[in-house]
Amino acid sequence: MNISINDIKNGMTIIVDGKLCTIEDFQHVKPGKGSAFMRMKLRNLRTGALVENTYNTNITVERARVDRLPMSYLYANGDEYVFMNNETYEQMEVPAEKLKEQLKFLKEGMEVQIVTYEGEILGINLPDKVEYEVTETTEAVKGNTTNNAQKDATIETGYVVKVPLFIQQGEKILITTEDGKYAGRA
Protein backbone atom coordinates (compact mmCIF):
# COMPACT_ATOMS: atom_id res chain seq x y z
CA MET A 1 0.00 0.00 0.00
CA ASN A 2 1.50 3.33 -1.04
CA ILE A 3 1.13 6.36 1.22
CA SER A 4 2.16 9.98 0.89
CA ILE A 5 5.38 10.84 2.69
CA ASN A 6 3.34 13.53 4.52
CA ASP A 7 1.29 10.78 6.26
CA ILE A 8 4.19 8.98 7.96
CA LYS A 9 4.54 8.52 11.72
CA ASN A 10 7.34 7.45 14.07
CA GLY A 11 7.53 3.66 14.38
CA MET A 12 5.91 3.07 10.99
CA THR A 13 7.53 0.43 8.78
CA ILE A 14 8.06 1.43 5.14
CA ILE A 15 9.95 0.33 2.06
CA VAL A 16 12.08 3.19 0.80
CA ASP A 17 14.78 2.92 -1.88
CA GLY A 18 14.14 -0.85 -1.90
CA LYS A 19 15.01 -1.22 1.80
CA LEU A 20 12.72 -2.31 4.64
CA CYS A 21 12.99 0.43 7.30
CA THR A 22 11.37 1.66 10.50
CA ILE A 23 10.98 5.41 10.92
CA GLU A 24 12.90 6.40 14.06
CA ASP A 25 12.34 10.14 13.66
CA PHE A 26 11.22 12.58 11.00
CA GLN A 27 11.05 16.32 10.56
CA HIS A 28 9.06 18.31 8.03
CA VAL A 29 11.27 21.21 6.89
CA LYS A 30 9.91 24.28 5.09
CA PRO A 31 12.83 26.54 4.22
CA GLY A 32 12.19 30.22 3.45
CA LYS A 33 13.23 29.67 -0.12
CA GLY A 34 12.61 26.56 -2.18
CA SER A 35 10.25 23.64 -1.69
CA ALA A 36 9.56 21.78 1.53
CA PHE A 37 11.29 18.48 2.26
CA MET A 38 11.18 15.66 4.81
CA ARG A 39 14.25 14.72 6.86
CA MET A 40 13.99 11.16 8.20
CA LYS A 41 16.05 8.87 10.42
CA LEU A 42 15.45 5.33 9.20
CA ARG A 43 16.58 2.03 10.76
CA ASN A 44 17.15 -0.73 8.24
CA LEU A 45 15.39 -3.79 9.70
CA ARG A 46 17.67 -6.26 7.93
CA THR A 47 21.05 -4.73 8.80
CA GLY A 48 20.20 -2.60 11.87
CA ALA A 49 21.95 0.42 10.30
CA LEU A 50 20.59 3.88 11.08
CA VAL A 51 20.61 6.34 8.17
CA GLU A 52 19.42 9.91 7.83
CA ASN A 53 18.04 11.00 4.45
CA THR A 54 16.03 13.87 3.01
CA TYR A 55 13.08 13.31 0.67
CA ASN A 56 10.88 15.52 -1.46
CA THR A 57 7.37 15.93 0.04
CA ASN A 58 5.57 14.98 -3.17
CA ILE A 59 6.76 11.33 -3.25
CA THR A 60 4.96 8.24 -2.01
CA VAL A 61 6.46 5.34 -0.06
CA GLU A 62 5.27 1.78 0.29
CA ARG A 63 3.97 0.84 3.72
CA ALA A 64 5.23 -2.56 4.85
CA ARG A 65 3.15 -4.90 6.99
CA VAL A 66 5.39 -6.29 9.70
CA ASP A 67 3.96 -8.99 11.96
CA ARG A 68 4.85 -9.29 15.64
CA LEU A 69 4.19 -12.81 16.91
CA PRO A 70 4.03 -13.34 20.70
CA MET A 71 6.32 -16.25 21.58
CA SER A 72 8.20 -17.77 24.52
CA TYR A 73 11.92 -18.50 24.41
CA LEU A 74 12.59 -22.19 25.06
CA TYR A 75 16.27 -23.07 24.56
CA ALA A 76 19.38 -22.69 22.40
CA ASN A 77 20.21 -25.40 19.87
CA GLY A 78 23.72 -24.58 18.64
CA ASP A 79 23.45 -21.31 16.69
CA GLU A 80 19.65 -21.56 16.54
CA TYR A 81 17.34 -20.26 19.26
CA VAL A 82 14.00 -22.04 19.66
CA PHE A 83 10.80 -20.10 20.40
CA MET A 84 7.25 -21.42 20.90
CA ASN A 85 3.86 -19.90 20.11
CA ASN A 86 1.89 -20.12 23.40
CA GLU A 87 -1.46 -20.65 21.65
CA THR A 88 -0.61 -23.15 18.90
CA TYR A 89 2.52 -24.68 20.53
CA GLU A 90 4.22 -24.31 17.14
CA GLN A 91 7.99 -23.92 17.44
CA MET A 92 10.21 -21.58 15.42
CA GLU A 93 14.00 -21.47 15.19
CA VAL A 94 15.72 -18.09 14.92
CA PRO A 95 19.39 -17.90 13.86
CA ALA A 96 21.80 -16.18 16.27
CA GLU A 97 22.73 -13.46 13.73
CA LYS A 98 19.11 -12.18 13.81
CA LEU A 99 19.31 -11.65 17.59
CA LYS A 100 22.65 -9.77 17.85
CA GLU A 101 22.83 -7.72 21.08
CA GLN A 102 19.57 -9.16 22.45
CA LEU A 103 21.20 -12.53 23.19
CA LYS A 104 22.73 -11.21 26.41
CA PHE A 105 19.23 -10.55 27.81
CA LEU A 106 17.48 -13.76 26.62
CA LYS A 107 16.50 -16.28 29.29
CA GLU A 108 14.34 -19.40 29.22
CA GLY A 109 10.60 -18.83 29.50
CA MET A 110 10.85 -15.14 28.52
CA GLU A 111 7.90 -13.71 26.57
CA VAL A 112 9.09 -11.93 23.40
CA GLN A 113 7.72 -10.82 20.03
CA ILE A 114 9.22 -12.32 16.87
CA VAL A 115 9.23 -9.66 14.13
CA THR A 116 8.56 -11.03 10.61
CA TYR A 117 7.98 -9.58 7.17
CA GLU A 118 6.38 -11.84 4.56
CA GLY A 119 7.68 -14.92 6.40
CA GLU A 120 11.23 -13.55 6.81
CA ILE A 121 12.40 -13.35 10.43
CA LEU A 122 13.84 -9.87 11.11
CA GLY A 123 14.52 -10.18 14.84
CA ILE A 124 12.81 -10.08 18.23
CA ASN A 125 11.39 -7.44 20.55
CA LEU A 126 12.23 -7.94 24.23
CA PRO A 127 10.21 -6.61 27.17
CA ASP A 128 11.41 -3.14 28.31
CA LYS A 129 12.55 -4.33 31.75
CA VAL A 130 13.40 -7.89 32.76
CA GLU A 131 14.10 -9.47 36.16
CA TYR A 132 17.40 -11.34 36.54
CA GLU A 133 19.22 -13.01 39.41
CA VAL A 134 22.71 -11.76 40.27
CA THR A 135 24.97 -14.83 40.04
CA GLU A 136 28.25 -13.12 40.91
CA THR A 137 29.32 -9.75 42.23
CA THR A 138 32.37 -8.19 43.77
CA GLU A 139 32.39 -6.94 47.35
CA ALA A 140 32.01 -3.22 47.95
CA VAL A 141 35.34 -1.48 48.55
CA LYS A 142 35.47 -0.12 52.10
CA GLY A 143 35.63 3.66 52.14
CA ASN A 144 34.23 4.04 48.63
CA THR A 145 31.48 6.50 49.45
CA THR A 146 31.55 8.59 46.30
CA ASN A 147 28.23 9.59 44.82
CA ASN A 148 26.69 6.84 42.69
CA ALA A 149 29.48 4.36 43.47
CA GLN A 150 28.93 1.18 41.47
CA LYS A 151 30.40 -2.30 41.05
CA ASP A 152 30.19 -5.07 38.46
CA ALA A 153 27.57 -7.79 38.79
CA THR A 154 27.09 -10.82 36.52
CA ILE A 155 23.47 -11.84 35.87
CA GLU A 156 22.19 -15.34 35.05
CA THR A 157 22.71 -14.87 31.28
CA GLY A 158 26.41 -14.02 31.76
CA TYR A 159 25.96 -10.30 31.02
CA VAL A 160 27.94 -7.95 33.30
CA VAL A 161 26.12 -4.82 34.50
CA LYS A 162 27.06 -1.93 36.81
CA VAL A 163 24.97 -1.97 40.01
CA PRO A 164 24.93 0.01 43.28
CA LEU A 165 27.23 -1.23 46.05
CA PHE A 166 24.39 -2.67 48.19
CA ILE A 167 23.38 -5.32 45.61
CA GLN A 168 24.48 -8.81 46.71
CA GLN A 169 24.84 -12.18 45.00
CA GLY A 170 21.49 -14.03 44.76
CA GLU A 171 19.39 -10.83 44.65
CA LYS A 172 16.90 -10.21 41.87
CA ILE A 173 17.34 -6.98 39.90
CA LEU A 174 15.65 -5.29 36.95
CA ILE A 175 17.63 -4.51 33.80
CA THR A 176 16.48 -2.24 30.96
CA THR A 177 16.87 -4.25 27.75
CA GLU A 178 17.16 -1.12 25.58
CA ASP A 179 20.50 0.00 27.03
CA GLY A 180 21.47 -2.86 29.37
CA LYS A 181 21.51 -0.74 32.54
CA TYR A 182 20.44 -1.47 36.11
CA ALA A 183 16.87 -0.26 36.72
CA GLY A 184 16.29 -1.24 40.36
CA ARG A 185 15.62 -4.15 42.66
CA ALA A 186 12.91 -6.61 41.62
Q: Work out the burial of residue 126: count CB atoms within 10 Å of its CB; fewer than 13 is exposed, 13-18 middle, 19 or more buried.
A: buried
> Residue 142 has what pLDDT?
64
Among 136, 137, 107, which Cα is nearest to 124's? 107
144: pLDDT confidence band, cut at 50, 70 and 90? low
Could you give the domains of the chain?
Answer: 2-63 (2.30.30.30), 67-125 (2.40.50.140), 129-185 (2.40.50.140)
pLDDT tens-digit map of 18-51: 899 999 999 988 888 888 899 999 988 888 889 9
- Cα→Cα distances 11→2, 22, 152, 182, Å: 17, 6, 34, 26
pLDDT tens-digit map of 67-110: 989 999 999 988 999 999 988 999 999 988 888 788 889 999 99
